[in-house]
Amino acid sequence: MEEFTSVPAIQELHAEHTANETQIKEKETGLQPETCDVNFPQPDKESTSQKSKERKCTGKEPFMCGECGYQTVRKDHILRHMRTHTGERPYKCDQCDYSAGRKSTLDRHLANHAGVKPYACGECGYRTAKKAHLSQHMRSHTGEKPYRCDHCDYSATNKRTLCMHIQSKHTDEKPFMCGECGYRTNQKCHLAVHMRIHTGEKPYKCDQCDYSAAVKCTLDLHLANHTDKKPYMCGACGYRTVTKYKLSQHTRTHTGNKQYKCDQCDYSAKAKFTLDQHRAKHTGEKPYMCGKCEYRTSHRGHLISHMNTHTGEKPYKCDRCDYSAARKSQLDIHLAKHTGEKRYMCEICGHRTADKICLTLHIRTHTGEKPHKCDQCDYSAAQKCSLRKHIAKHTGEKPYMCERCGFRTARKSTLFQHMKIHTDTGEKLQV
């Protein structure tokens, strides 16, 4: 069995016999080849079968990368793999400065220039430039999840999602670390997206306005604002949305289904990211840190919103007035003032509201749920802000201060009430 542990050796071998491979091809076409002292074996069924048997016995592949230990049975795969270390991108686009390490990647890029999307879904009209993407899309209709985890009962529609699941749930390894704030992750792509928080890079541009986004899914949601197309509709209340995922989340407001369970307490959530945020309360982990102040959080979205307090950026614009907001949720609440729409309804009493969070809080008045627990006594609250006010009694902290007289209080509402003293006094003095 051949084993190549040195990449330069592989490349030298490849270059040394390129001419000889050409001669073999010429022989197949009837041309007289020149003599060669090296016997360069051609793949056949017998040799391939023998290598397969050897791999099963030894558990080794014949070609190995000297940089990272990657192994493969094919020489073209090891040469292609080495480009991930060298950064070589030999396939160039003739219409822009894009280059790729693989021809298939370049072909997908070229489809963006041509705008060709020959593969169409017969169910919903979705089109794509790649057949594999259509196959994955069709599983959203059929519900098929052929990739199964051998550690638990999880299954996925594609192999990449399964790999991400295994790395995040069944291994504690997080080899990718941010040099700015110490954030760690098990996915290289997650680190790349995280770094944009620090750099401010927003590579995804809207072709209809000056909006840009750090991640593609955010741009896709923004583009829906231009088309007003919301293909996913709730059969119970008529709510419409641009993504299937949001419809799935909305449907749970009717069913009350909270399928994501905490393994450390009796908390449950309707969405996975909500459960992830809750789990951070048990671990105390806050991997996202602001580079301009000491603010830390367990949620990436919270850090992005926080950064806007430093920059003053309000990227979410109202298309009916000059209002702008730092958060999309704030814009959604504002837009309801224009439309008068109150799409969230309580099924117990019929109360309607424009804000999903307000509905959640309202439902707790019926259920009596108080998920926010004090870790110093048995107090619990339905709202997080109520818990913060309570904790201030334990700590004695009074963060709200009057700039006119120095009065301090633990509650923002108390400060507002106090400020009226100065306002009323000022009005009386004017009289």
Q: What is the DSSP string of 351-412?
A: -EES-HHHHHHHHHHHH----EE-SSSS-EESSHHHHHHHHHHHH----EE-TTT--EES-H
Among 101, 45, 13, CA closest to 3: 13
Angle at 271 (CA atoms; ends 294, 122), nearest 5 degrees: 125
Measuring CA to CA, how many Å separate 152 from each of 143, 146, 149, 170, 234?
19, 14, 6, 9, 31
Q: Convert the pLDDT of each residue in 118-165 to its tens digit.
A: 888 888 878 888 788 888 888 888 888 888 988 888 888 888 888 878
pLDDT at 426 over 60: no
Distance CA 352, CA 329 (A): 17
Write down the pLDDT at residue 55: 52
Measuring CA to CA, how many Å separate 13 from each of 21, 27, 42, 60, 102?
12, 21, 15, 21, 21
Model pTM score: 0.36
Q: Convert the pLDDT of each residue in 277-327 to its tens digit.
A: 788 778 777 777 887 777 888 777 778 778 777 777 787 888 888 888 877
Distance CA 317, CA 326 (A): 9
The band of 424, judged by pLDDT with boundaries at 50, 70 and 90, is low
Share of the chain above pLDDT 70, in %: 83
Distance CA 381, CA 393 (A): 14
The band of 218, judged by pLDDT with boundaries at 50, 70 and 90, is confident
User: Domain limits of the chain?
Assistant: 7-88, 400-430
Distance CA 428, CA 65 (A): 83
- Structure tokens given for 424: 């009323």
Distance CA 138, CA 124 (A): 10
Distance CA 277, CA 281 (A): 7
What integer best gives the mean pLDDT of the chain? 77
The band of 24, judged by pLDDT with boundaries at 50, 70 and 90, is very low
- Strand, coil or helix: what is 29? coil
